[in-house]
Structure 1
Amino acid sequence: MLAYGYRKFGGPAVFETLDQPDLKPAASQVVLTTLAVNLNDEDRIERLGINATTPLPMIPGHDVVGRVSQIGAAVTDLPVGTIVAAHTEHTYAEQVCVDADSTVAVPDNLTPTQAVSLITPGITAYKAVRYFADIQPDQTVIVKGAGGGVGELVVQLAKRLGAKVIAVARQSHADELMALGISQFVAYDHQDPAHVLADSGDVVINVSLNGVDGKADLAMAKFDATIASVAKHLPATSKSIRFRSIHATNAISDQAALQMLFKLLSTEQLQTHVGYELPFNLAGFIHGHQLLDQPHDGRIVVKK
């Protein structure tokens, strides 16, 4: 089979086609014939070699939708031909081998592109809202980074829980976020959110890149608020803040999160924004990583 990866770290041009042996499943595994892959910022960070533990050569990728093509001897409830999604590793390949119990069936009315675009950002958003922030009805929730893929989903999920949602993003995202029914929009490139929203939030969720500007999060939070952020810590404060650093957790399983997200998406109770659909070949993956390296609008999906 063909896979797409790199033997050295660097820019998108490090990608090459890697000829790999066909995969064989262990007893509890299945092999997927890949239909679509979602590209994430984590893939870019790995490619740049920022994480010293990234092995070489590397076949990157964490989100896949594929058709079950082989099943292990112990797999009895996942027929060949079933289209499933998985959050796993090494998905930039024509075949992906995964544990059968880590897969989630894709509803018939969702395309592989729609489903795969929801995997990493959806799991992150769902756990941020339901576990880390633990949003309750009627709370005022400020979402920082609301214009990004995770942020738009956080906005929608928080609204479904009955929260009053205030979105903080670049002005260019105003129309799309207002269309989601938010209570207020603050453009950080036109106003200072820390001033406009001072002491306003019962919950502040920061899913902007690296959880930037924790001081602003503190300024926007009420005295006894919850702050959930992708940052690892907050600056010192006299406020009585419950701080939760958003990270990978099994407190809610990826499968449970995806099942709910697919249900909401398939019944039009949730929207996902795919900005780019690229061909499943070397040029497509290089182009996808060129987009990851610059500001872009919407999810980047490589598909067959």
Structure 2
Amino acid sequence: MLAYGYRKFGGPAVFETITQPVLEPANNQITIETLAVNLNDQDRRERLGTGTDLVLPTIPGHDVVGKVLKVGPGVTGLDIGTLVAAHAQHTYAEQVTLDSDLAVTVPNDVTPAQAASLITPGITAYKAVRYFADVQKDQTVIVQGAGSMVGMLTIQLAQRLGANVIAIAPSHFTDKLTALGVEQVVAPDRQNPVHVLADRGDVIINVSHDNTNGKDDLAMAKFNATIASFATHLPATSKSIRFQVLHPTNVISDQATLQMLFKLLRTGQLTVDIAQQLPFTLDGFIQGHTLLDEPYSGQLIVAK
């Protein structure tokens, strides 16, 4: 069985083919045949060795969709051949073994590529909107990093709750964001968002990893606003602010989140933006990570 990983940190060329033994699930595990994996910025940071404790050599990857091949003796409710999605480990491989309680059944009318594209971005966006920011009807929600997949999903989920959404993203995202029906798009390469949106937001959701000092978020927030961000703290301020750090949480489980996201997708209440679908080969993973290192729009999927 083949997998794709690396023995040292660096650029996309560090990837190589790694032969694995046949995988056998433990009592409460399943083994799946991988059909699609989602490439995201966490994969890129790990490949570069940034803020990671990975032990090398490693097979990277977290977001996977595949068909159940084997089930452990303690597994119930998952049949051989069932299409499932999960946030797991070591997913850049032809087969992946994972705990059965991580797996979510994928509806028949959702493709493996669509399902994979929703896993990490969708979970992040859903929990940001529903739990950390607790978005309410008629609030003005300002989304920083709106051009990313997480940002676009955040916009759609906030709109479903009846919020008025303002998006901040470079101008080349304007058409995509306008098509989502956002109230206003502010492009930092054309306008200063702080000047345009000062004291406008009831809620600021910052899903950008590049703008996390909190100063701009504070400037755009009303008094008594909520700010949800990857930043670890905010600068000192006289404003009364409810500040929430975006981080993994099981208050809403990943499994329940994915089930809801798949329902919204299959009923046309949510759309995904897949930029490219690459072949499930060594070259496909190298090409995908080359694209991760460059500015891109939409999700990158490696699929069979």
- TM bracket, shorter-chain basis: over 0.9
**Which residue of the partner structure matches residue 44 of structure 1?**
44
Is the 8 Å Cα contact of residues 213 and 231 (structure 2) preserved in structure 1? no
Counterpart check, 1:122 vs 2:110: no
- Helix, strand or coil at the partner of 1:118: helix
Deviation by residue 1:83-106 (Cα, 9 ceiling, x = unmatched): 000001100000011111111111
Measured in 2, the distance between the counterparts of 1:206 and 1:58 equals 31
Measured in 1, the distance between the counterparts of 2:142 and 2:115 equals 27
**Which residue of the partner structure matches residue 141 of structure 1?**
141
Measured in 2, the distance between the counterparts of 1:6 and 1:101 equals 28
Report the number of matched residues.
304
Is the 8 Å Cα contact of residues 202 and 226 (structure 1) preserved in structure 2? yes
Counterpart check, 1:279 vs 2:250: no
Is the 8 Å Cα contact of residues 69 and 81 (structure 1) preserved in structure 2? yes
Shift of 1:135: 0.5
Q: Provide the TM-score with structure 2 as the length reference.
A: 0.98
Deviation by residue 1:145-184 (Cα, 9 ceiling, x = unmatched): 1111100000000000110111111111111111111111
Measured in 1, the distance between the counterparts of 2:121 and 2:37 equals 13
**Which residue of the partner structure matches residue 223 of structure 1?**
223
**Which residue of the partner structure matches residue 162 of structure 2?**
162
Amino acid at match of 1:62: H
Is the 8 Å Cα contact of residues 145 and 151 (structure 1) preserved in structure 2? yes
Deviation by residue 1:63-100 (Cα, 9 ceiling, x = unmatched): 00000000010112100000000001100000011111
Counterpart check, 1:16 vs 2:16: yes
Is the 8 Å Cα contact of residues 210 and 230 (structure 1) preserved in structure 2? no
Measured in 1, the distance between the counterparts of 2:236 and 2:150 equals 27
**Which residue of the partner structure matches residue 84 of structure 2?**
84
Measured in 2, the distance between the counterparts of 1:216 and 1:26 equals 49
Measured in 1, the distance between the counterparts of 2:108 and 2:167 equals 32
Is the 8 Å Cα contact of residues 211 and 229 (structure 1) preserved in structure 2? no
Q: Call closer, same or farther: CA 1:234–1:90 in 2, change over 3 Å.
A: same
Measured in 2, the distance between the counterparts of 1:118 and 1:8 equals 29
**Which residue of the partner structure matches residue 268 of structure 1?**
268
Deviation by residue 1:178-208 (Cα, 9 ceiling, x = unmatched): 1111111111111111111110000000011
Measured in 1, the distance between the counterparts of 2:135 and 2:52 equals 36
Deviation by residue 1:243-279 (Cα, 9 ceiling, x = unmatched): 1010111111100110000000011110100001000
- Helix, strand or coil at the partner of 1:265: helix
Measured in 2, the distance between the counterparts of 1:232 and 1:151 equals 19
Amino acid at match of 2:249: T
**Which residue of the partner structure matches residue 234 of structure 1?**
234
Measured in 2, the distance between the counterparts of 1:245 and 1:176 equals 27
Unaligned runs of at least 5 residues, structure 1: none
Shift of 1:52: 4.3
Measured in 1, the distance between the counterparts of 2:51 and 2:6 equals 15
Amino acid at match of 1:199: D
- Helix, strand or coil at the partner of 2:287: helix
CA RMSD in angstroms comes to: 0.9
**Which residue of the partner structure matches residue 27 of structure 2?**
27
Amino acid at match of 2:180: L
Deviation by residue 1:4-58 (Cα, 9 ceiling, x = unmatched): 0001111111000000111100111110000000001001111111124111111
- Helix, strand or coil at the partner of 1:209: coil
Amino acid at match of 1:69: L
Measured in 2, the distance between the counterparts of 1:235 and 1:210 equals 17
Amino acid at match of 2:103: T
Is the 8 Å Cα contact of residues 210 and 231 (structure 1) preserved in structure 2? no
Counterpart check, 1:62 vs 2:62: yes
Identity in percent: 66
Unaligned runs of at least 5 residues, structure 2: none
Q: Provide the TM-score with structure 1 as the length reference.
A: 0.98
Counterpart check, 1:2 vs 2:2: yes
Measured in 2, the distance between the counterparts of 1:89 and 1:159 equals 32
Shift of 1:141: 0.4
Measured in 2, the distance between the counterparts of 1:234 and 1:153 equals 25
